[in-house]
A and B are shown apart, each in its own frame.
Chain A
Amino acid sequence: MESGKRTFVRTLVAVVVVVAAFSAGAFAQAPPVKIGLLATLEGPFAAGGQDSMRGAELAVRQRNGVVAGRKIEIIKASSDAKPDVAVNATRKLVEQDKVDIMVGPLSGSEGIAVKEYSKTQPSITFINGSSGAQATTLVNPSPNFFRFNTDGGQWMVGVGKAALDKGYKKVMVIAEDYAFPYSQVQGFMTEYCKLGGKVPVKAWVPLGGKDYASVIARIPKDVDALAVVLGGADAVNFLNQYEQAGGDKPIIGGSITVSQDILNYKGKRRESLVGTIAGSPIADAYEAPEFKAFVADYKKNFPDGYPSPSLFALVYYINMKATLDGLDIVKGDLSDGQKKYRDALAKMTLKTPVGDVKLDGNRQAIGTTFVTEVVKDSQGNLYNRVLKKIDNVNQTLGVPPSEFKIGSRDEPNCP
């Protein structure tokens, strides 16, 4: 290099270094707050995971990336709905990337594993993503694990009564064989059985099984409706195969059976879904102004997202908002093992687009559940309208805690 060019390059480098030093110095007053964000970006819930990231990011963007005078730094990680992968990813975020607060994970069994890990890191605060297993906060809860979303069982409160109102006296349950559907079925059946409904058959299908022809063949002639608690691709397959086989019984959906990512699957809109009732923490057509503002914000920020935010987006949004609101209350003070922050989280009333959320003694949310019905709008898109809104749903679903049993294959039962 000739000397002229060399000088030029050196000057350029010097300028860059100086500018960098200044920009670093500009934020030297208050260090950024590092928040780890974990969702399933691979595997069966990948589509839900993508939307959950959007929801969390929306909460950050609404504050322009700053909270209590500190810049928000989000470090993302991915899992594939396996507990060991989730714990490894969390451990990396906490111990290697040194995040101050951890938000996640997405799926139920991951949540239980991350809760166990949180007990080994008492000075970091863990806030749930969207995992909805009951055991996470009901069995051996962790003092620094907070869940601002209601769990799978809470999401189905009200559906039992709505089903009987529609005249479904006998229902067959078709659900995946693991903890989250157990909690959903329990949430549905606790009320349904108490009010006199009957569930003669429960079909538990392996997770990820795609061929529902055999289950469909087992549907008895005399049931009035099917309670279908399947998610993702399983739900799409079942609905498709059921219609192709000539089935026409109405469907009662679990929370992820008729969520936006299913209603929007790439394929012909299934007319048969219209009229399906379900229980969910979100209702696409909820009229409250806060919710409409939330939906508008989502659409503006993410033009490539769904027509309406999904359950995952809303729940991650709620938890991230709680994280940031808490930081606001303590003015960004995370000292002393984050004690003040945790106290603030435990005591605060969180304002969400769907209502207020408070935490119970196990740091579990007491919140709002919607009973929804699928309808078609003028453009032919399917969405969920609100049949009923139930506030202050707690984790034991109104049953005294001593009598409450976590959902399993055989509990509850009313053939």
Chain B
Amino acid sequence: MTRAWKVFWALVIGIPILALAAWGLHDNVRLFVITFLNGLTLASLYFIVASGFTLVFGLMRNVNLAHGSLYLLGGYLGYFTAQFTGSWLLALAAGFAAAALVGLAMQVSIFRFMPGQDLRQTMVTIGLSIVIADLLMWAIGAQVHQMSPPPWLDGPIRNLPVIRAYSTYRFSLLPIGIVIGVALWLFLNRTRVGMMIRAGVDDRAMLAAAGVNVNLVFATTFAIGAGLAGFGGVIGAVELSMVPGEDTRLLLASLIVVIVGGMGSVVGAAIGAAIFGLAETYGLAYAPTYSVVFTFVILVLVLAFRPRGILGRPA
């Protein structure tokens, strides 16, 4: 795209957004700022879950539609760990580990035998998601499971300048998301394993030819990606509660984030999460009736004009 066109698009998209923002600030500053914070924190949660998804797709071209079920699994296990031990941090670790283990099992026992058959892998993940979701409901029941935040994150932060009060836990999602994002970036860009993963994303065959144990790299990546979903599940269990049906919702959200941001790119996932989280919360605050339609229209427009997403790579 030439520079002129880039400027043109930036203006076409940017000016209406600025105009709306100005109106929002003028109309009700508190609502605008709170919604902004809500959007960013929600985006953090979406980013954590979606980053695992994009990692798996980026390397293995595997669209893991069981990602939502892994979220649910991690969330439930985290809940029970917290009940048992009383520690939120242990719950986070348990959620991560459980989902990572299941993901590892899926990769090693099923996907390893279907190299290159992307569509078939996708269909297997659909089947797995139905089965896992129903097994969880069988074992745990259909009731709502609401995890409590740890005592040091409980309750509101009071006496804030414009917005008066804000939920401590929700606010903490922002630093958590940033830490995860930075850790992921460091892992991918500053470690040997990360280097192998990035090489594999660019050229799988060459990676194998260079003598790397590709299966091991794949297994590690899948485990990390699944673990991130489980980790996100524990975080979400406090903020949004666990109930059958959360898996489809978070899966859809991850898909949108990853597609808007570009499959295979962690930075893209961050950008996509920000766009999607802000769009959803502003929609819910200012135009709740059609808010969800707007978010999907954004997705459709992005895909129609930038089929690979904002930072995406060719499939």
- Complex A–B touching at CB under 8 A: yes
Judging by beta carbons under 8 Å apart, are A215 and B284 in contact? yes
Docked CA distance A244–B144 (Å): 18
Given A211-B42, A214-B281, A245-B167, answer yes or no on A46-B137 (Cβ-Cβ < 8 Å). Answer: yes
27 contacts between A and B (CB under 8 A): A43-B245, A50-B142, A203-B288, A205-B284, A206-B288, A206-B292, A208-B249, A211-B42, A211-B280, A211-B284, A213-B38, A214-B284, A214-B288, A215-B285, A215-B288, A217-B38, A218-B31, A218-B285, A244-B170, A245-B156, A261-B144, A265-B146, A266-B146, A267-B145, A267-B147, A267-B241, A268-B146
Q: Which residues of A contact B280 (CB under 8 A)?
A: 211
- Complex Cα distance, B169 from A350, in Å, reads 51
Given A44, A47, A244, A264, which contacts B169 in the complex, CB threshold below 8 Å? A244
- Given known A213-B170, A246-B155, contact A240–B241 (CB-CB < 8 A): yes
| Closest 3 pairs (CB-CB, A-B) | A246-B156, A46-B142, A267-B146
State in angstroms the CA–CA spacing of A251 and B69 once bound together.
Answer: 34
User: How many residues on chain A are close to B (CB under 8 Å)?
Assistant: 37
* Selected contact of B30 from candidates A217, A232, A262, CB within 8 Å: A217
Give the residues in chain B near A246, CB-CB below 8 Å: 155-156, 158, 164-167
Report Cα–Cα, A205/B168, bound state, in Å: 24
Decide if B79 is an interface residue (CB 8 Å cutoff).
yes
Residue contact A233 to B243, C-beta cutoff 8 Å: yes
Interface size in chain B (residues, C-beta < 8 A) = 45
Quick check: is B244 within 8 A (CB to CB) of the other chain? yes
Q: Please measure, in the bound complex, the distance between the C-alpha atom of A206 and the C-alpha atom of B168, giving whole angstroms.
A: 26
How far is the CB of B114 from the nearest CB of chain A, in Å? 30
Cβ < 8 Å to A, chain B residues 200-243: 239-241, 243
A267 to chain B: closest residue by CB: B146
Closest chain A CB from B83 CB (angstroms):
8
B interface footprint on A234-253 (CB within 8 Å = 1, 0 otherwise): 00110011001110000000
B35 at interface by CB-CB < 8 Å: yes
A209 lies within 8 A of chain B by Cβ: yes
In the bound complex, what is the Cα–Cα distance between A266 and B245 (angstroms)?
17
Seed contacts A210-B241, A246-B165; 8 additional CB < 8 Å A-B pairs: A205-B288, A211-B42, A215-B285, A237-B146, A244-B149, A245-B170, A266-B79, A268-B146
Contact residue among A49, A203, A209, A237 (Cβ-Cβ distance under 8 Å from B241): A237
CB–CB A211/B79 < 8 A: no
Asked if A214 and B289 make an inter-chain contact with CB atoms under 8 angstroms apart, the answer reads no
Least distance between A230 CB and chain B CB atoms (Å): 12
**Pair B166/A268 contact, Cβ less than 8 Å:** no
Q: List, in ascending order, chain B residues with CB within 8 A of A206's CB.
A: 288, 291-292
Write the nearest CB–CB distance from A17 to chain B, whole angstroms: 36
A260 nearest CB across to chain B (Å): 11
A266 to B144, CA, bound (A): 6
Give per-residue flags for A287-303: 1 if the beta carbon is below 8 A from chain B beta carbons, else 0.
00000000000000000
Residues 165-219 of A contacting B (Cβ, < 8 Å) = 177, 203-206, 208-211, 213-215, 217-218
The reply to whether the CB of B109 lies closer than 8 angstroms to some CB of chain A is: no
Give the most central of A206, A217, A240, A265: most B CB within 10 Å.
Answer: A217
Q: Which residues of B contact A (CB under 8 A)?
A: 30-31, 34-35, 38, 42, 79, 137, 141-149, 154-156, 158, 164-170, 239-241, 243-246, 249, 280-282, 284-285, 288-289, 291-292
Residues of B within 8 A of A211 (CB): 38, 42, 240, 280-281, 284
Instruction: Name the contact of B38 in the complex, choosing from A214, A266, A267 (C-beta under 8 A).
Output: A214
Among A46, A211, A237, A261, which residue has the most Cβ atoms of chain B within 10 A? A211
* Chain A residue at minimum C-beta to C-beta distance from B158: A246
A217 touches B34 (CB 8 A): yes
Residues of A within 8 A of B42 (CB): 211, 213
A43 neighbours in B (Cβ, 8 Å): 244-245
Minimum distance in angstroms from B59 CB to a CB of chain A: 30
Among B144, B147, B288, the residue within 8 A (CB) of A47 is B144
Bound Cα distance A267, B288 (Å): 29
Cα distance, A233 to B75, chains bound together (Å):
15
Contact partners of B35 in chain A: CB under 8 A: 213-214, 217
B31 / chain A contacts, CB cutoff of 8 Å: 217-218
Which of B144, B166, B280: most chain A CB closer than 10 A? B144
**CB closest residue in chain A, given B282:** A214
A78 to chain B, nearest CB (A): 12
Cα distance, A266 to B142, chains bound together (Å)? 11
- List of A residues within 8 angstroms of B143 by Cβ: 47, 261, 264-266
Q: Which of B148, B169, B240 contacts A267 (CB 8 A)?
A: B148
Looking at the assembled complex, report how far the CB atom of B248 sits from the nearest CB atom of chain A, in whole angstroms: 10
Return the contact of A233 from the options B144, B165, B168, B285 (Cβ within 8 A). Answer: B144
Q: Given contacts A210-B240, A214-B284, are A240 and B38 in contact (CB under 8 A)?
A: no
Q: How far is the CB of A248 from chain B (nearest CB, A)?
A: 10
* Chain A, Cβ-Cβ closest to B244: A46
